[in-house]
Amino acid sequence: MKTLKYILIPFCAALFIMGCQDEDLEIGKITAPSNLDFTETIVGADPSNPNGDGDGFVNFTATADNAITFIYNFGDNTDNVASTGDARHRFTKVGVNEYTVTVTASGPGGLQSSKSKNIIVKSSFEDQEAMDFLSGGIGSSKTWYWAADKSGNIGLGPNTVQSGGEHTYDQYFSAPPWLEDKLCMYEAELVFTQTAQGLTYEQTVGEAYIPGTYSGNLGVDGDTCHGADVVPSLVGVKNVSLTPSSSIATIDGDYRGTTLNFSDGGFMCWYVGSSVFEIIEITDSILKVRVEESDDFAWYCYFQTEKPER
């Protein structure tokens, strides 16, 4: 018991001192940012084109008292953190569209203030050459196949810039020709058709390939093929719209700058929950695209018009 007594005395003394010190601390007043406001300048806007010149770029400037940083939500499922309050964003939905832009100012202690306003922006992006490459031209259809006999027919890379700058190619994995665990995928036939009304797409042969990195989201086996019972959007004709690419990979990788958007959950055989495929390269006979699985991963898919023979 004597030993315990001597241990407790300095411990209690320490608690007493700490308690006194805590009473001497003063917490400064924490207030939310005030007088928040932001302005927008639509690039190319003039009296004849009040919604811009069709490129879709808008410059924003936000100000507030007692703000440390600003967060923009652009109303098109994208956002951006701007420490200075300045931001530049490209709205890519083709046509004249209205967006609700919200700016949130963050201050000390995490307190926030927000303000929203609606803006109307014009985007008139076109890539007729890509549409013709995909389909063979207006009134025509073209069938595409996995480039199973080529290296890099499927690949995986980072979706964010790495320490060495990597983020525009299949850094993590690149498949050799006829990779054994992809054989079911290589059966797919993908058909693009162009009419006067636009571009459509349908996977007419084969199933959806679901990689192991994504299969857990669906509760199914990964690195194999599944049918419409797992991915209902596998079947049916989809409309395809072409929009300007805005990802950092497209910008830094000097890709074509065109993105394919498939309606009704459509996708190009490789299923990771996305209907957005960026074109890396396209000619009359080859097509290389990039599809983002998450903030961490991006897949690289390689197709061709010649049916590969093993």
**Coil, strand, or helix at residue 306?**
coil
Q: Which residues contact 76 (CB under 8 A, 6 or more apart)?
A: 91, 92, 93, 99
SS3 sequence of 40-57: EEECCCECCECCCCCECE
Residue 173's φ and ψ, nearest 5 degrees, are -160, 140
Per-residue pLDDT tens digits for 39-49: 999 999 999 99
pLDDT of residue 246: 81
pLDDT higher than 50, residue 214: yes
Percent of the chain scored above 90 by pLDDT? 80
CATH tag, 128-304: 2.40.128
List the 34-42 sheet strands across, edge first.
Answer: 34-42, 57-65, 86-90
Per-residue pLDDT tens digits for 130-156: 999 999 999 999 999 999 999 999 999
Domains 34-123 and 128-304 share a fold: no
Percent of the chain scored above 70 by pLDDT? 91
Per-residue pLDDT tens digits for 154-199: 999 999 999 999 999 999 999 999 999 999 999 999 999 999 999 9
pLDDT higher than 90, residue 22: no
Taking the domains of the chain in order of start, what are their residue ranges? 34-123, 128-304
CATH tag, 34-123: 2.60.40.10
